[in-house]
Structure 1
């Protein structure tokens, strides 16, 4: 009796996991403005895959014919799986640059204050971040959550930290903080001349933007895009709520309600921003690369919409899940370098400098001849 009940329980649980995974496969095709609740399933995909693999192995040992269900479910979701895991032989990133390759570094620098809460340590972080970027020997650097002040002296002159090595730049200056003295946004630095640059402002209060810079190297002109898409904007108290939820605090419902509200707004806005990005990429007159913090996972509408038929440097050259955001969960790959099909990707690396809650991405690319 107990054995029969256990078997039925596992069958039902297996079916539930299969249904949830199949629903998650619809996430890239459903507009978040209308279907925002399904966005939560996109965040669950790695865990659903682990459960499906477990069930497949479990049934193969105990009841082989039942293993067909999770196996077929995984086959149906092959496209989602192909964006979740990179399967390449891991190779050592070579610091020596080979012409005519262009090295691109992308990093969300978290306002250049690092992970420490001490003000003295935070002041030193900005120079460490600049040194880490220069040490990559990148030709182009794209940064998100960058800040700068034109009026508060050398301690706030963050552009000045890199301008000697990268004399050409374009800063989005999306919004102000610190009584208006500090400007925040995304920035592109380049060793090579920038002949044209611009930004497309996203709609909404305190919204950021998509920026681009047309960079000339030799006879080639390449357009580099970078952006920081809508985040969940979790505050310190929100992270405390997450811990309380994990510990099943008595105030679980109120904490969850507040978090879900913020996540709904983020899913919806990111979907709209992704549409704007895709339209802008399609209109680019030059070979292009977009990189940045999309604040969304590879199984999302955001990722599929922006990437389209473009390449993903991580999937092309790395191995594993590729976590880029070190807080919350071990499965959050939300930062990307995506070259268009006209580029060849030579090497890729993810660098953890312990100076931000995001990892730095570095890739060498060149135009196909």
Structure 2
């Protein structure tokens, strides 16, 4: 009798957290539909999706043995969120990227947030060396198109600061957004597209509200085809070194946790809101393209977010087509942050995809071979 009572009590104790977990997961799934410009608090939940999915799977297995009827709660929640699950996990376990094997009709494209081209070291001499390592790593993959975010350059400080020259021999065609241009070329930063193919048109589109980042596109001429390449960089959280220290304090549950949390949440709220506006703009321009197109960039947002679904639309996600796992592309904060993407439209086939870790930036390099489908 006592055993039955304990068993019933245990079920009751676990049932309430299971229901709350299911509700929280469904609420997190709404982040893909609600623009964070107004619904910024829901956007926070999208960051939890991988963890909530795993917890629901454990809850499903537990209730399957403890009380099968209760297993319907996590199962129903997972079915409701299947759209989000599909973009978080990729299942192509046996896919690989071979740098030496590239179809003759394929376009090899690279997208990478290069963190100002100076690597992760604080040593000045090593930072000067890292800029060449970054360029050599990219060129060594023999891409046809290179999309870089947080690229910097100087036109007046000589060769040791002219990063465009590192690529211009192999990639004579390029378009640089120069979102920040200090003292007539002394220091420039922004997004850049390098191409082996002629660029016949180029456009920079500014974000509203004085945001320094922008997004750009170029039209390249490849044989008889004109292809549009978008390179986008959305609002980051702009965490300072102190903010990363605050994150460490939160993880260690120190006395200053509340103060640190408020500061971080304020920055995250602003970033979520701005990315909502930016995502709408990017979707408008990319969907109205009169040419077949490939969109690359650093969204600073995860799959499951409003920015991801809004920008992707009917596009393909190269990672989901040819990779496996969660696909982390950003080192700091959490192990589940896939925030960088390559997205060709439906007129292309993804042959290969890889996420390359060279320990030269806080972001990882994305490489993909993409083939333009023959005209019907």
Q: TM-score range by the shorter chain?
A: over 0.9
Q: What are the superposed Cα offsets for residues 172-212 of structure 1, whole Å, 9 maximum, x if unpaired?
A: 00014699721110000001100110110001234211100
Which structure 1 segments of 5+ residues have no match? none
- Which residue number in structure 2 is paired with residue 182 of structure 1? 187
Shift in alpha-carbon separation, 1:155–1:72, aligned structure 2, 3 A: same
2:258 to 253, 256, 262: 253
1:71 to 72, 75, 100: 75
- Which residue number in structure 2 is paired with residue 47 of structure 1? 51
- Give the TM-score taking structure 2 as reference length: 0.96
Contact 1:185 1:208 in 2 (8 A): yes
- Which residue number in structure 1 is paired with residue 355 of structure 2? 350
**Displacement after TM superposition at 1:247 (Å):** 1.0
Q: What are the superposed Cα offsets for residues 3-59 of structure 1, whole Å, 9 maximum, x if unpaired?
A: 544322211111111001001111111111111100011000000001000101111
2:97 to 77, 93, 97: 93
Residue 286 of structure 2 aligns to a residue whose secondary structure is: helix
2:318 to 313, 318, 341: 313
- Give the TM-score taking structure 1 as reference length: 0.97
Aligned residues between the structures: 369
Q: What are the superposed Cα offsets for residues 223-274 of structure 1, whole Å, 9 maximum, x if unpaired?
A: 0000110000000000000111111111111111111100010000000000
Residue 21 of structure 1 aligns to a residue whose secondary structure is: helix
In structure 2, C-alpha distance between the alignment counterparts of 1:118 and 1:2, rounded to whole Å = 61
Shift in alpha-carbon separation, 1:273–1:311, aligned structure 2, 3 A: same
Residue 255 of structure 1 aligns to a residue whose secondary structure is: helix
1:280 aligns with 2:280: no
Contact 1:177 1:184 in 2 (8 A): no
Contact 1:111 1:145 in 2 (8 A): yes
In structure 1, C-alpha distance between the alignment counterparts of 2:367 and 2:148, rounded to whole Å = 12
Residue 361 of structure 1 aligns to a residue whose secondary structure is: strand
CA RMSD of aligned residues (A): 1.4
Residue 346 of structure 1 aligns to a residue whose secondary structure is: strand
**Displacement after TM superposition at 1:148 (Å):** 0.3
